[in-house]
Amino acid sequence: MSIPKLALLALFFGFANCSVFSQTANRIPFDSLGFNNLLEEAKWLCESDEIAWLATDSLKKYGKEELSRLGDLGFCYQDELKNWYISYDKVNNAGQRPLFHYQVDSLYRLNPVQSNNDSTLYHSFTNALAKCLVEMNSVIDSVNIHMNQYIHRLPDKSIEVWILPAFQPSGQAIYGAEWKFHLDSQGLKILDTYSYTSGLKSVWIGQPRELWLNYRDINQPTTGSIYFAWSFKDYFTRIHIATNNSISTLQKNSSGQYSWDYKFNELPVNK
pLDDT level of residue 11 (50, 70, 90 thresholds):
very low
pLDDT at residue 107 in the model: 83
Give the C-alpha separation, 74 to 21, whole Å: 41
Residue 5 has pLDDT above 50, yes or no: no
Spatial distance between the Cα atoms of 239 and 97, rounded to a whole number of angstroms: 42
Strand 190-204 relative to strand 17-20, pairing: unpaired
Query: What is the C-alpha separation between 109 and 125, in angstroms, rounded?
Result: 23
* pTM reported for the whole predicted model: 0.82
Dihedral sign computed on CA atoms, order 90, 93, 95, 101: negative
Cβ-contact 6, 206 below 8 angstroms: no
Where does the pLDDT of residue 27 fall: very low under 50, low under 70, confident under 90, or very high at 90 and above? Answer: low
Q: Provide the pLDDT confidence category of residue 100 given band limits of 50, 70 and 90.
A: confident
Torsion of CA 184, 220, 224, 253, to 10 degrees: -130
Instruction: Characterize the bridge pairing of strands 100-104 and 110-112.
Output: antiparallel
Give yes or no for a contact between 252 and 14, defined as CB atoms under 8 angstroms apart: no
**Mean pLDDT within 53-79:** 74
Residues 75-94, mean pLDDT to the nearest whole number: 80
Span of 1-5, 72-76, 96-100, 121-125 with lowest mean pLDDT: 1-5
Residue 67 pLDDT = 66
For 175, phi and psi rounded to 5 degrees? -140, 170
Cα-based distances in Å from 16 to 56, 125, 228, 254: 27, 30, 13, 14
DSSP letter (8 states) at residue 118: T
More confident residue, 155 or 13: 155
pLDDT digits (tens, 9 = 90+) for 192-224: 999 999 889 999 998 889 999 999 999 999 999
Beta strands in 124-245, from DSSP E residues, in sequence order: 147-153, 159-165, 172-183, 190-204, 210-215, 238-243
pLDDT higher for 181 or 113?
181
- Among 31-35, 59-63, 127-131, 143-147, where is mean pLDDT lowest? 59-63
pLDDT of residue 221: 95
